[in-house]
Amino acid sequence: MSGSFLGDAFGARGGAAGQGWPMSNIMDAVEQLRAQFEQKTSGATRMNKGDVRSAVLSLLLEQPMHGYQIIREIEERSGGSWKPSPGSVYPTLQLLTDEGLVQAEESGGRKTYSLTEEGRAAAGEETTERSAPWESATTRDSGRMTALPKAGVELAQAAAQVARTGNKEQVAAAVEVLDDARRKLYSILAQS
């Protein structure tokens, strides 16, 4: 979306503010931002090879868990920036079981995994050598995949609300605020 799109949509260019601004363009912009946000946040953050293994060992060092608990816990601890798929967690649990680091007990139709003594030693080494993988996922994301797109969608929704219900002066004031916000965002990039 170009920097002048919302200004054009509000009628700031090529006409008086509040006259002739196509509401459908604003709603299209909001939907486009929402789709980009959902697309970027629906997939997991790309993690390094071995991060699922390290995460599983770290979590099982704390307490026994079943696979779904592990997935939820990783997602929660990474602030939502990393949610490994069952297709990566369950094969990792099976591999760790085959290596003798993890044992599974079935109860109520669900397998609960815990570390063996050898697994505790391996997990202890993992945690002393590097930070937990969910911490690096949060650092890697730094708001790019979650906070920033979400804020953009919320801004576009507010702009659309002003376009729908605001009077001529309110629309003109909103255009000014958006133009100022755009300049400030570019200024942030220029500082580096």
The phi and psi torsions of 134 (rounded to 5 degrees) equal -70, -25
Taking the complete model, does pTM exceed 0.85, yes or no? no
Predicted local confidence at residue 166, as pLDDT: 92
With a CB cutoff of 8 Å and minimum separation 6, the contacts of 59 are 65, 70, 73, 74
Identify the weakest region by mean pLDDT among 56-60, 63-67, 154-158: 154-158
Q: Given pLDDT bands bounded at 50, 70 and 90, which one contains residue 114?
A: very high
Identify the weakest region by mean pLDDT among 12-26, 45-59, 63-77: 12-26
Identify the weakest region by mean pLDDT among 39-48, 70-79, 81-90, 99-108: 39-48
Q: Looking at the predicted structure, is the pLDDT value of residue 98 above 70?
A: yes
CA distance 127 to 2: 45
With a CB cutoff of 8 Å and minimum separation 6, the contacts of 44 are 82, 83, 84, 85
Identify the weakest region by mean pLDDT among 59-63, 84-88, 153-157: 153-157
> Would you give the end-to-end CA distance of the chain in angstroms?
23
Query: How many CA within 13 A on the CB side of residue 16?
Result: 5
